[in-house]
Amino acid sequence: MIEKRLFFQQSICPFLTGMMVSFILFLGGYNDMAHGAPGIVNIDKEDLVWIGDAIFQKECGGKKEHLLAWNKGEDFPSLGIGHFIWYPKGMEGPFEESFPAFLNFAKQRGVQLPVFIDSMKNMDCPWTSRREFLRARNTDAMKSLYSFLMNTHYEQTLFIVTRLKIAIPKIMEAAPHDKKEHIRSQLVRVADSSRKLYALIDYVNFKGEGIKSTERYNNQGWGLLQVLEEMKGTKPGTEAIHEFIRAAETVLARRVDNAPAGRNEHRWLPGWKNRINDYKFLVTLT
């Protein structure tokens, strides 16, 4: 079995300084055309910080006030550099809820959660509407949440990168049997350096893995699995990045076409395409 190992070494919190964490991307049976052999991509401190900054720019426009967002037309807030979804009590939406998972992730690493969250019996969002959320801007709870998000930029980045690690084997398991080799090859094409992993990391954070049955319109998904399925070609480097962009645009346009009319998702498509096209800067990286 061929496997591509993605390593990063960085202090997760003060008492874990020097800990080595390994990411294993299973690519069994596929000959790495880019290198002729299994490669090793190192995600060190500098690259991890770079990835976090890039995500912050894309999700929040680089503006700190956008760490706390509740978009018009949505039933939930989007928090942090990755705009993690947080559902109010009693709500079960179709999209993957990620903020409670991040809270657990941070707590396991010794990060102090805001007091109002740490005292909760559950991890449900305490605000039930966008209006209520906006009115709470100057409350102690909201201020402590903002401070928490400001001070955990690194942990949020680590959580997002870890999500890709967890996503890859799930994607490979969910992939149709006759497309597994194709999907493996496309992963290798895109991930030929640590910073080019950004396209995969960002897309999973942005639109998910593509394996949840609830994340479907007309039985068609829009996650990373669907983008990799849509890709064509074999060459790495510039061609791979441009092909990833083309495939992502096709998948997202199909989502909008399939979406229920009441959601009016056409309003979001230009912004989604701009975000995807920004991956073009990756072709200049080594």
Structure tokens at 192: 């030929």
- Averaged over 142-154, what is the pLDDT? 96
Do 44 and 235 contact (CB within 8 A), yes or no?
A: no
Residue 30, pLDDT score: 32
Distance CA 187, CA 210 (A): 15
pLDDT score, position 206: 84
Beta bridge partners of 84: 79
Cβ neighbours of residue 72 under 8 Å, at least 6 residues apart? 130
Q: Residue 108: pLDDT above 80?
A: yes
Confidence of residue 166 (pLDDT cuts 50, 70, 90): confident
Question: Got the DSSP string for 143-184?
Answer: HHHHHHHHHTHHHHHHHHHHHHHHHHHHHHHHS-GGGHHHHH
Which two three-digit tokens encode residue 222?
């829009």
Per-residue pLDDT for 155 more than 60? yes
Q: Using the predicted structure, report yes or no on whether residue 285 has a pLDDT greater than 60.
A: yes
Which pLDDT score, from 0 to 100, does residue 4 have?
A: 31
- pLDDT category at 92 given cuts 50, 70, 90 is confident
Q: Is the pLDDT of residue 105 over 90?
A: yes
d(CA 48, CA 148): 20
Q: Angle at CA 82, nearest 5°, toward 271 and 256?
A: 35
Please determine, for residue 255, whether its predicted confidence score (pLDDT) is greater than 90.
Answer: yes
- Over residues 217-241, the mean pLDDT reads 93
State both tokens at 23: 């990411």
Given this model, what pLDDT does residue 14 score? 29
> Using CA atoms, how far apart are residues 118 and 103, in angstroms rounded to an integer?
9
The pLDDT assigned to 46 comes to 84
pLDDT band, residue 136 (cuts 50/70/90): very high
CA-derived radius of gyration, the chain: 19
pLDDT of amino acid 48: 87
**Ordered strands of the 20-26 beta sheet:** 20-26, 3-9, 40-42
Q: Residue 244 above 90 pLDDT?
A: yes
**Any idea where the domains of the chain sit in the sequence?**
61-153
Cα 242 to Cα 50, 258, 276, distances in angstroms: 21, 24, 10
* Average of per-residue pLDDT values in the chain: 83
pLDDT tens digits along 191-216: 876 778 889 988 998 899 999 888 89
Distance, CA of 75 to CA of 129 (rounded, Å):
7
- Using one digit for the tens of pLDDT, what is the confidence trace for 2-59? 233 232 223 223 222 333 333 444 443 333 333 333 334 567 788 888 889 989 988 8
Query: What share of residues in the chain are helix, strand, coil (percent, to 5)?
Result: 55, 10, 35
CA distances from 97 to 78, 100, 124 (A): 10, 7, 10
**Distances, alpha carbon 120 to alpha carbons 37, 79, 113, 124, in Å:** 50, 18, 11, 8
pLDDT of residue 16: 28
Q: Average pLDDT for residues 272-277, to the nearest whole number?
A: 92
Distance, in Å, from the CA atom of 155 to the CA atom of 235, rounded to the nearest integer, reads 34
Decide if 51 contacts 195 (C-beta within 8 A). Answer: yes
pTM of the model: 0.75
Q: What is the per-residue DSSP string for 78-133?
A: EETTTTEE-PBTT---SSPP-HHHHHHHHHHTTPPPPHHHHT-SS--BS--SHHHH
